[in-house]
Amino acid sequence: MEVPLTIKETQEALKKRKINCVDLVDYYLDRIEKNDEKINSVLTVSKEKAYEKARKNDNLIKELGDRAFIEFPLIGVCVIHKDMFLTRGIRTTAASKVLEDYIPSYSATVVDRMDKAGCITLGKANQDAWAHGSSGENSDFGPTKNPWNLEYVPGGSSSGSAAALASNFCLVTTGTDTCGSIRLPANYCGVCGLKPTYGLVSRYGVIAMASSLDSMGHFARNVDDVKRILEVTKGPDGYDSTVSSCYREFRVKDFVKIGVPREFFGEGLEVEVRRSIEKAIETFERMGHQVVEVGLPHTEYAIAAYYIIQPAEVSSNLARYDGIRYGRGRDFFGDEAKRRIMLGSYVLSSGYYDAYYLKAMKVRSVIIKEVEDVFEQVDLLIAPVSPSLPFQLGEKTSDPLKMYLTDIYAATANLAGIPSLAIPSGFSDNGLPLGFQLMGPRFSENVIFDLAEKYHREINYKPSIAEL
C-alpha cells in the first residue's frame, strides 16, 4: 500500500473511502518499525493512542461524511511531535536522560489544538537534547541519520522531525526554532519548515529553551500543508502573554520585491548552495518579481549576540530541572547543556552582565531596527538556511564553535522575531537536498506562503521521500 504525501491528497482519499485512518496508522507504524532502526528519528511510539484516535476519526467520517473535514480540518493527519512538546500521557524527554521517564499530565497548546482538529499522534521525535544543537548528534538517545544519505546529519535540533517526514513515517511533524532548529533540518532533509513570527503560536506546554527566541512551528511536504497546520496552531490561548491576535494582516500582491541581503552571501558559503539560490533568484525574476540587493550590516554580530542571549536564558530555564520537581538529578545533563548553563551563568553574573549580556541585548536592538528598515525597502528576503550542504556525522562534534557557525544565517529571524520559511528547491550533485529561506516582516506569513507556493508551481516541485 502507498499513502498520499500531502494533507489534501490524504483527505481526498479518506473522503472517497479509498483508505481509512486505521490503514494510515498501520502503514506508518509498520514503516517506522521496519526502518527507524537505521534512522533513529522516533523516540516513543504511542501505538494504542494512535489506533484509538484513528478509530474515532473513522467513525466521525462515517457519521458526518464530508462535514467531518470541515469540522476537523486536520482529520486523519498523522503527526509525530518533537519531544519538546508536552503530550498528555505520552513520554516527553527533550531527548535528555534527565526526563527519560517523564510523562506529562497535560499537552502543549500546539498538540492540543492539532488533536482537536483531528490529528493522530503517532509518537515523539528524536532531537538534540533540550534543542541544543545543529546536527541531531547531541541527543542522549543517539544521533538521527539523514534519510537521503545515512552518513550525513539530518540537521538539528529538530533532527527526528525532519528525518521522520523525509522517511514517510508520518504526514507532518512539529518543531521548535530558537535559532534555526526547524529551518536547518527542513533544509537538510528536503522538506518545508516554518518558523512563525514570535508571538503567533503559543509556547505553552513546550519545554523552554531560550524563551525570548523560541518559536513553535512545523514541518510538512508542501506549503499548502504548512498553511493548514498554522491555521490550527496560531493565536492566543490565554497561557502565553506574548501571543497576540492584534496584528496587521499583510496584503498579498501579485508581484513582490525580494531583497537579497549581501551579508548572507559572503565568505564561507558553499559554491553549490550559492549557485542553487542564484538559480532560485533567476526563477523569481523570470516570474516577474523584482529582486534587489540590500544590506543588513550587523548580521556578522548576530550569532555572537545569540550565543550570549540564548545561554543566559537557557541557564535560567534549565534551573528548574533540579531533580526535585521533575525527572532525574542534574548529573544526568549532557556536556552541551552543562556548557550552556556555565556560559549563561557567566554572562549574567555581576561584573560580566554589562560587558556581555547587556551588550548582546544592545546588538539585538540594532539588528531588530536594521531588519525593520530593510522591510521598508522590500517585501521579503531570500537567503541560504545554512552555509553548507548537510555535513557528515561526526564532522563537527569535536568543535562546538564550528557547530555553532552552522546557524549564522538562522539567527537574524529569531533575534528579530520575524517569520521564515525554509523550502526545498531540488538536490545537489551527490543527491543531498537543497533549498533556501524566505523571511518577511512580523506577521507576514501569508505573503511568504504565497510566494513560496508560486515558486514551487513554477519549478514544478513535487514532494519526494527518501528510499530506505
Active-site residue 46, yes or no? Answer: no
Provide the minimum distance between the beta carbon of 441 and ligand GLN in the complex, in angstroms, as a whole number: 21
* C-alpha span between 438 and 456 (Å, rounded): 13
Query: Least distance (Å) from ligand GLN to the CB of residue 212?
Result: 13
Residue found under cell 503559543: 202
Which of these segments, 127-135, 281-289, 388-396, 424-432, binds ligand GLN (CB under 6 A)?
Answer: 127-135
Q: Which of 135, 181, 420, 444 is catalytic?
A: 181
* Contacting residue, 82, 113, 132, 396, with ligand GLN by CB under 6 A: 132
Phi-psi region of 69 (alpha: psi -120 to 50; beta: other; left: phi over 0): alpha
What does the per-residue mask of binding to ligand GLN show for 418-447, with x meaning CB under 6 A?
------------------------------
For residue 289, give the amino acid letter. Answer: H
Beta strands in 208-301 (DSSP E): 215-220, 257-261, 290-294
- Does residue number 181 form part of the binding site for ligand GLN (CB under 6 A)? yes
143 binds ligand GLN (CB under 6 A): no
Output the nine-digit C-alpha cell for 41. 528519528
Q: 533575534: which residue's cell?
A: 415
Helical (H) or strand (E) element with 338: helix 335-348
The stretch near ligand GLN (CB under 6 A) out of 17-25, 125-133, 363-371, 392-400 is 125-133
Among 164, 194, 201, 209, binds ligand GLN (CB under 6 A): 209
Among 379, 407, 445, 450, binds ligand GLN (CB under 6 A): 407
Distance CA 131, CA 145 (A): 16
- Give the distance from CA 432 to its chain's centroid: 19
Of the residues 107, 134, 157, 161, only one is catalytic, namely 157
Annotated catalytic residue: which of 41, 46, 49, 82?
82
- Binding to ligand GLN (CB under 6 A) within 272-311 occurs at 310
Tell me if 125 sits within 8 A of 46, measured CB to CB.
no
Counting contacts by CB under 6 A, is residue 379 touching ligand GLN?
Answer: no
The verdict on whether 195 is a catalytic residue reads: no
Residue 39 and residue 81: Cα distance in Å, rounded? 16
The yes or no reply on residue 193 touching ligand GLN (CB under 6 A) is: no
Longest CA–CA span in the chain (Å) reads 67
Strands 172-177 and 78-82: parallel
Asked if 203 is part of the footprint of ligand GLN (rule: CB under 6 A), the reply reads no
Q: What amino acid is encoded at 167 in this protein?
A: S
Binding mask 80-119 for ligand GLN (x = CB under 6 A): ----------------------------------------
DSSP state of 14: H
Q: Does 157 bind ligand GLN (CB under 6 A)?
A: yes
- 208 counts as binding ligand GLN under rule CB under 6 A: no
Give the residue ranges of DSSP H helices in 175-270. 183-189, 223-233
**Which residue stretch of 139-147, 170-178, 250-258, 458-466 sits at the interface with ligand GLN (rule: CB under 6 A)?**
170-178
- Nearest residue (CB) to ligand GLN, 112 versus 177: 177
| 180 part of the interface to ligand GLN, by CB under 6 A | yes
Q: How far apart are CA 276 and CA 273, in angstroms?
A: 5
How many CB atoms are closer than 10 A to CB 226? 29
Helices within 133-245 (DSSP H only): 159-166, 183-189, 223-233
- Taking the C-alpha atoms of residue 359 and residue 353, their distance in angstroms, rounded to an integer, is 8
Q: Is 257 a catalytic residue?
A: no
| Single residue of 179, 192, 232, 337 touching ligand GLN by CB under 6 A | 179
Write down the residue that cell numbers 502543549 correspond to. 108
Q: For residues 60 and 302, which CB has a smaller minimum distance to ligand GLN in the complex? A: 302
348 in contact with ligand GLN (CB under 6 A): no
Question: In this chain, which residue has its C-beta nearest to ligand GLN?
Answer: 181
Q: Is 217 in the site for ligand GLN (CB under 6 A)?
A: no
Asked if residue 215 lies in contact with residue 233, where contact means CB atoms within 8 angstroms, the answer is no
Rounded least distance, CB 178 to ligand GLN, Å: 4
Residue 133 contacts ligand GLN per CB under 6 A: yes
Binding segment for ligand GLN (CB under 6 A), chosen from 26-34, 130-138, 379-387, 423-431, is 130-138
**Residue 86 CA: distances (Å) to CA of 56, 77, 89, 91, 133:** 22, 19, 9, 8, 20
Q: Which residues are catalytic?
A: 82, 157, 181
Instruction: Return residues touching ligand GLN (CB under 6 A).
Output: 131-134, 157, 176-181, 209, 310, 407
